[in-house]
Chain A
């Protein structure tokens, strides 16, 4: 137990240097929200209003995607206001849970695919939808998002803990 704990601290000290400053969190939220607003407004603009020529729309979507990806990176890898050993151990725990979730999702989808192929009880449509869901769930972006959600829930619980004290 004690040996394991001291190893954790070494990891904590090493990890601290990888994190971005706290203000990246604010930048991350701003980009994340504007990215999504622009994304849905853009979908509407492309499909209904046709303001932006089709030729440019693909590049615009790419840029929006890039910004949303970046924002998730900022949100996941920036320091808290007070970065201490509790937040670091929370990060490690959240990362471990994310690893479990991603592995389970990966396994479930791999098996779902194998069974679907073996027994042929899926229509081509549902097969395609399954493929899209798999693509959405198993990519670095979603994993980061899962990590952020777990981390935020844990931090929220700690914050709620001190509110209950008052």
Chain B
């Protein structure tokens, strides 16, 4: 699964820590998601998408091998 959280974060000029605080998770979690090491739950995906004011599909994308 791909995601463009890093890009969207840069667009809003917020750090990993700020995004983590806004979604009630640790900075490690946001970092792991950005690196593709961890797949977030539906709940967290929805929270992230709400902060970026986008839909989940616009942030997360399936890859061919998924």
How many whole Å from A122's CB to the nearest CB in chain B? Answer: 46
Taking the nearest CB of chain A, how far is it from the CB of B12, in angstroms?
17
Contacts of A80 in B (CB 8 A): 26
Given A158-B32, A162-B16, A165-B16; A89-B27 close (CB under 8 Å) = no
Pick from A1, A5, A159: contact of B28, CB under 8 Å: A159
Asked if A9 is at the interface (CB within 8 A of a chain B CB), the reply is yes
Interface size class of B (residues with CB under 8 A): 10 to 19
Q: Which of B1-51 contact A (CB under 8 A)?
A: 16, 24-29, 31-32, 35, 37-44
Q: Is the Cβ of B24 less than 8 Å from the Cβ of A84? A: yes
For chain A, the bracket of interface size reads: 10 to 19
Closest 7 CB pairs of A and B: A82-B26, A86-B29, A84-B25, A158-B28, A162-B31, A9-B41, A85-B41
Instruction: Mark B residues whose CB is within 8 Å of A.
Output: 16, 24-29, 31-32, 35, 37-44, 66
Interface residues of A (CB under 8 A from B): 1, 5-6, 9, 12, 80-82, 84-87, 89, 155, 158-159, 161-162, 165
